[in-house]
Chain A
Amino acid sequence: MTIKSVLVANRGEIAVRIIRAAKALGIRTVQVYSAADADMLAVRLADGAVNIGPPAAKKSYLNIEAVIAAAKAAGVDAVHPGYGFLSENADFADAVAATGMVFIGPSGDAIRLLGDKVAAREVAARAGVPTVPGSGGRISDLSQANEVARRTGFPLMIKAAAGGGGRGIRIVNSLVELDQQFPLASAEAAAAFGDGGLYIEKVISNARHIEVQIFGDGRNFVHFYERECSLQRRRQKVWEEAQAFLLPDDVREKLCASAVALARDVGYRGAGTVEYLYDEQRSEFYFIEVNTRIQVEHPVTEMITGFDLVQEMFKVADGSPLSVTQADIRPRGHAIECRINAEDPFKGFAPAPGQITRLALPDEDGVRFDTMLYEGYTIPPFYDSLLGKLIIWAEDRPKCLAKLARALDGLVIEGVPTTIPLHKALAADAAIARGAFHTRFLEGWLESDFAAARISATEVV
């Protein structure tokens, strides 16, 4: 390796994960931290640490100048951005490269291209990846909108071209509604985003969220199969699996091949994820977006393939060709990841920072807990609520669910409320066991099954 040292430009469990991968490769680690994070586990594990500013993320972990200054001061060869924060910021990737350091991820240009929703959709279409039926790009007026609607059918989403994160979306069920809503949506988009541009997409009802892990070194491109991430609350993933349950083999083959075609089209370098909506009734999948970073849920892929994706990121960033060919990657067994958050599932998932007074981990083969917790650690209120990820591997999905139930019983986190009770209920649920879920499943289930189970438990007491 020419990379001898790395700045970990992140926090929490992913910073710990990156440090472990770097240590396995003999790379010296320097951890950045905000004033609120001086006690975090990654600071304790790293070879060095640099304070980059006050607690507010925009003054520390999102502050490009502060992170670049820390990297220069530490004299590191490379910067690993993790996920979130600056990981998909093209200007940050460029700034790292401009100082002569290695950004562990794709180039700034690749991040810019794939981060633009309309441009990424065009790349996907060019690579032969199916996209959600719709206008394909901006539409200028109502007559054009009507034309698209006649072609795709209803329900349709009217989306603001400059929107994002679920903002600026209206759903319409008929031509009459389209006529009413189109001008309103345009005025709203102009007011909210300074750009009245709209585009239209068909709503894919009861779809599953399935994504493909891709990897490239700029010349060679592989996939590490798919993950199923349909269990979401407020568009945040809660539970992920690999491989996707009940996905027909021919669909899987096409899905994974399309993701590799997209990676090849842009000469992708590093780890990435191509996200899709999968319409189970029609056995059709549609491109959503590309994430140009390591994902929170990458461990389920590691568990079924046996490869360390974070170590592979370092190797590829170092200039080595991919250490694996497609034929080397053979999925085995089944893996499930549960996101354990500091939130109270019985009180509307209210987040609760605080001190961890007791921590006990399950001890069984095929059980992994990626975390930044230790007894006595105080979780600060300034960042997200993820405490750790419980990852289970077994020969098949029924065994995996049974092992998950045992592991959840063995996982004890005291001092703050956690989402462990939610995962216990999911692990015991018949619909989950059948694999009968889609992206809207969990929110309904929380209202009906989870709330009902709690009321009956209270009555018994």
Chain B
Amino acid sequence: MSKSEIKAPLPGTFYRASSPDLPVFKQDGDDVSAEETIGIIEVMKTFHEVQAGIAGKRITFLVDNEEPIMAGQVIAEVEQ
């Protein structure tokens, strides 16, 4: 069992749900597939979905909702 990192492709503000009234895309501990959306990054008032990119088990988010992030920063980890 090893841990794999999911990194931010863009700098901006990270959101875990598509709107404040909706549930988060993924809870800590969920399994994810490579195509699944795990969050949204807002860059200069435009919104970009972030896919997991890799399949894995028990996702752990390292960034809070609405937190500023840099490109390449690790957003979450999954077990493989």
Task: Enumerate chain A interface residues (CB-CB to B < 8 A).
Answer: 36, 54-56, 342-343, 350-351, 353, 381-385
Q: Which residues of B contact A342 (CB under 8 A)?
A: 44
B44 touches A56 (CB 8 A): no
Contacts of A381 in B (CB 8 A): 10-13, 42-44
Residues B13 and A353 in contact, CB atoms below 8 Å apart: no
Contact B43 A353 (CB under 8 A): yes
Partner of B44 from A36, A54, A55, A351 at Cβ < 8 Å: A351
Q: Is the CB of A385 within 8 A of B68?
A: no
Tell me, in angstroms, the Cα distance from A381 to B11 when the chains sit together: 6
B30 at the interface (CB under 8 A from A): no
A353 to B11, Cβ gap below 8 A?
A: yes
Q: Given the complex, which residues of A lie within 8 Å of B68, measured CB to CB?
A: 36, 54-56, 382
Determine the chain A residues whose CB is within 8 A of the CB of B46 once the complex forms: 350-351
- Cβ of A56: which chain B residues have Cβ within 8 Å of it? 13, 66, 68
- Bound CA–CA A381/B41 (angstroms): 10
What residues on A are CB-neighbors of B43 within 8 Å? 351, 353, 381
Residue of A nearest to B46 (CB): A351
Q: Which of B10, B43, B44, B68 has the most CB of A within 10 A?
A: B44
Shortest beta-carbon distance from A352 to chain B in Å: 8
Contact mask for chain B residues 3-29; partner A; CB cutoff 8 A; 1 contact, 0 none? 000000011110000000000000000
For A353, list chain B residues within 8 Å (CB): 11-12, 43-44
In the assembled complex, the CB of A46 is this many whole angstroms from the nearest CB of chain B, namely 23
- Chain B residues with Cβ under 8 A from A350's Cβ? 46
Task: Determine whether the beta carbon of B11 is less than 8 Å from that of A55.
Answer: no
Residues A382 and B12 in contact in the complex (CB < 8 Å), given A351-B43, A351-B46: yes
**5 nearest A-B pairs in the assembled complex, by CB-CB distance:** A351-B44, A381-B12, A381-B11, A385-B44, A55-B68
CA distance A382 to B42 in the complex (A): 7
A385–B43 CA distance with the chains assembled, in angstroms? 9
List residues of chain B with CB within 8 A of the CB of A384: 44-45
What residue of chain A has the Cβ atom nearest to residue B44's Cβ? A351
Closest residue of chain B to A36, judged by CB?
Answer: B68
Please encode chain B, from 65 to 79, with 1 for each CB lying within 8 Å of some chain A CB and 0 for all others.
010100000000000
A383 to B45: give the CA distance in the assembly, Å. Answer: 6
